Amino acid sequence: MSDTYEFLFRNGTVVNQDGIGTHDIAVRDGRIAAIGDVDPRRAGKVIDCTGLHILPGVVDTQVHFREPGAEQKEDLETGSRGAVLGGVTGVFEMPNTNPTTTTAEALADKVSRAHHRMHCDFAFWVGGTRENVDAIPDLERLPGAAGIKVFIGSSTGNLLVADDEGIAAILSKTRRRAAFHSEDEMRLESRKSLRVEGDPSSHPVWRDEIAAMQATERLVAIARRTGARIHVLHISTAEEIDFLAQHKDVATAEATPHHLTLSSDDYARLGTLLQMNPPIRDARHRTGVWKGVAQGIIDVLGSDHAPHTLEEKAKPYPASPSGMTGVQTLVPIMLDHVNAGRLTLERLADLTSAGPARIFGMARKGRIAVGYDADLTIVDMKRRETITNKWIASRAGWTPYDGKRVIGWPVGTVVRGRRVMWEGEITEPSTGEPIRFLEALPPA
């Protein structure tokens, strides 16, 4: 084997499963080839990372890039552009597009659209429905498939499976971990009258904490009955955290930066821009989700990047759609929380790289280790910046964090050894590839 390297990321403070320390990272053929003190004369190109922290590449396991069907809000190129500008090296994209991602043909179409057009690596969730339940064992193992995603509470799109029988039918077929939007549809339907015209602060009154808790309790019971593994997305209540702590054998859980950062007090300032499913709730629930992070009950962070245009969001509630941008702001918002002492850099790396690899079985991703893909998120922990709408690459063109000052900023995004973003500029052509999974590796 050659003793030379294509790239050397030199003298960075590496954050990894074995702690934090100053190391060089050498790259050959898109993978990490050496870690430690490497002679720079052996590298074709040396990138000085003195004073910077190098994290395993951040993977955002819940984004909505709206293609096909709603490209006026976002597409795979613009969404992934925002991802790498924000330090994200890989994404799992959701199935509620038009047409929905519920067939092998629809998945293959998305993979084809994304290949070498997206700036980061990618996988696509396949929607689980009553109609495709018999095909699930094959669908969840197809190239580019992140697994099966089910909406048991209505949100954007038409993938609702609300009844226990339908959920059980899907979980009886899954072999990989299935992901769920967990709100109880029957309770949501019964409480629609609580929505107040023109008042988005009534959103969490309608979609209350009981709707979330009831759905999550049902999910866990069905998972146990069918012998399935489940992943509960965007946890928004303190009660769910305490409940899921007792069921970690079958259920993993995701938190979002917005549920960790914002509260219902922000409706007065942001109006419908704060409207999400499940909702932003009062500070008690935000504290509860932080407890889940601190106690290890939360396994991953996902942005739930779900863009809508400002014109759509300007419609009077409840005609306004739920969703906000988030993939580009995930890293800076969470680095600011690190600097505020709310979590450590090691825990952030666990939530955004090792965690996704552990629970979804990503192949050669999630760690800085020899033989793994050279996916790196390089950050300046001391840098002070202001997040602005102008910085956001999404076609939607806005963020709920417009004007927010943060400490900690992504300065470099490296995907399979290619430095695709450096100091706020896209520096390489888009070369995104499907993420591979251990439970779906093709035969040699």
What is the total residue count of the chain? 444
Contact 161, 130 (CB under 8 A): yes
Cα separation, 299 vs 85, in Å, equals: 24
Tokens 């870690």 belong to: 35
**254: nearest Cα among 294, 288, 210, 297:** 297
What is the β-pairing status of strands 405-415 and 376-386? Answer: antiparallel
Residue given tokens 């934090």 in the structure block:
20
Catalytic residue among 75, 184, 208, 304: 304
- Is residue 304 part of the annotated active site? The answer reads yes
What residues act catalytically?
304
